[in-house]
Amino acid sequence: MDALEVRPSPYSTVSPAHLLGTEPDGAPSRLRTPGGEGGRRLDDLVGSAPYDALGRRVAARFGPRLPFRLGLLAADRASALQVRPRPHLARAGYHREVRAGRPVGHPRRSFPDDRHGPRMIVALGRFEALAGFRDPRSALGLLDGLDAVLVDAVRAALAERPSAAGVRAAVEALLAARTSPTRAADVAAAVGAVARRHRAGDAGTSRADATVLALAEQHPGDPGALAPLLLHHVTLEPGEALYVPAGELHASLGGSGVEVSAASGTVLRGGLTTAHVDAAALLECSSFVPRPPARPATAVTGRQSVVVTYRAPAEELALTSARVVPGEPVALAADGPRVVRALDGDARLLTAAGELALGRGESCFVPDAAGPLAVDGAAHVVCAWVP
């Protein structure tokens, strides 16, 4: 490590503001060492001294890279309908594209790396999402009474096989509609049927219908607007969390939150986007087993300073949210690489190597070599770490 980094110390990250990590496709965060100039890339720091940055435990499991990303979500419109592949399918897809000679960065490349991408979202404000397939019989109830060719295709798939196989066939019908010569008319007819039912005031379908209409307005002519009839609608209030495992089709609908995810740039899109949609890869990598949305395990400690720890069944990531008051410091993750962001207030990070002030909106990388980590001050901070 260079002269500025001989003593273990936290390093302030200065870019990008919304996504903190080391992956090249995500524009790796750059660092400003205490008393130094900004500019060094976080992936360079981690790669040059992985044991100091990550610790032997994490470096042995994941190699010389930060295994998670920390980001902020704030949107008033939906994200793409998408899935992140499971590990073996991520590797297979990546090597398939390598053999095909399609370079990373190509607009039609689907697998920029060979890693999976489970993610966890903790709401800061009200947060809405679609995640997890409904039971086929529940979905059939939402489709009942809608008279349109595209709806008929989805309904027939579920009615013939009210199982994961039927859910897959229903998704295939929506994906096939993207390339149909009658796409515009078919989607318009389906959305029109939903609009008529919504105006009639059916309380049992009102929420799903309203979501379909909102998505159709944001993405005219996109069959993915019908996804709320197949997927659970999730509402998170501040402090509540959602876990999206690799292989689960999902979309953010809007709101604000903190996201921690495994470090992968592979996103397979299925609609609600103008970006490349690889239908074959999405069908290969999705799980169509109906299940309710998953929630991570949470643990709450403290009285005046309150700490909430979120743990999901993903070995790369965990998140701690701490609301601290002056004079009552709280411990955060004790070892490994840690990325801390101050969401509000003024925080003081405490390590054996020294202290670092962190103001609202600022973030920092704390290496394993800095030792146990605590935070004091009057602030709300989040800390991503490796369990």
Q: What is the pLDDT of residue 119?
A: 97
Q: What is the tens place of the pLDDT at every residue in 201-253?
A: 888 899 999 999 999 999 999 999 999 999 999 999 999 999 999 999 999 99
Q: What is the tens place of the pLDDT at every residue in 304-345?
A: 999 999 999 999 999 999 999 999 999 999 999 999 999 999
29 with 75, same domain? no
* 300 in a structural domain: no
* 247 in a structural domain: yes
Position with higher pLDDT, 300 vs 3:
300
Q: With pLDDT > 70 as the criterion, what percentage of the chain qualifies?
A: 91
* 309 in a structural domain: no
Q: What is the pLDDT of residue 26?
A: 55
Assign residue 129 the CATH number of its domain: 2.60.120
* 171 in a structural domain: yes
The last residue of a domain, from among 285, 306, 329: 285
Dihedral of alpha carbons 13, 16, 71, 280, sign = negative
pLDDT band at 369 (very low <50, low <70, confident <90, very high): very high
178 with 270, same domain? yes
DSSP 125: E
Q: What is the pLDDT of residue 132?
A: 96
Number of domains in the chain: 2
93 with 228, same domain? yes
Q: What is the mean pLDDT of residues 172-185?
A: 97
- Do residues 324 and 378 touch, judged by C-beta distance below 8 A? yes
The last residue of a domain, from among 264, 285, 306: 285
The last residue of a domain, from among 285, 304, 334: 285
351 with 264, same domain? no
Q: What is the mean pLDDT of residues 255-277?
A: 94
Q: What is the tens place of the pLDDT at every residue in 153-167?
A: 999 999 999 999 999
- Do residues 1 and 49 touch, judged by C-beta distance below 8 A? yes
267 with 323, same domain? no
269 with 334, same domain? no
- Closest to 15 (Cα-Cα) out of 23, 25, 5, 27: 27
Which domain does 120 fall in, by range? 71-102+111-285
50 with 92, same domain? no
Assign residue 368 the CATH number of its domain: 2.60.120.10
Q: What is the pLDDT of residue 6?
A: 29
Residue 151, helix vs strand vs coil: helix
222 with 245, same domain? yes
How far are the Cα atoms of 51, 121, 137, 229, 339 from residue 317, in angstroms, in the given order?
Answer: 18, 12, 35, 31, 11
How far are the Cα atoms of 176, 262, 317, 335, 383 from residue 67, in angstroms, in the given order?
Answer: 35, 6, 8, 14, 14
* 144 in a structural domain: yes
* 299 in a structural domain: no
Q: What is the pLDDT of residue 103?
A: 87
* 210 in a structural domain: yes
pTM of the model: 0.91
Alpha-carbon distance of 58 to 40, in angstroms, equals 22
Q: What is the tens place of the pLDDT at every residue in 4-43?
A: 232 345 666 554 455 677 665 555 677 776 555 556 788 8
246 with 123, same domain? yes
22 with 43, same domain? yes
Q: What is the tens place of the pLDDT at every residue in 34-89?
A: 555 556 788 888 989 999 999 999 999 999 999 999 999 998 999 999 999 999 99
Q: Across the strands, what pairs with 262?
A: 68
62 with 79, same domain? no
* 280 in a structural domain: yes
- E strand or H helix at 92, and its extent? helix 87-99
Q: What is the mean pLDDT of residues 170-180?
A: 97
191 with 337, same domain? no
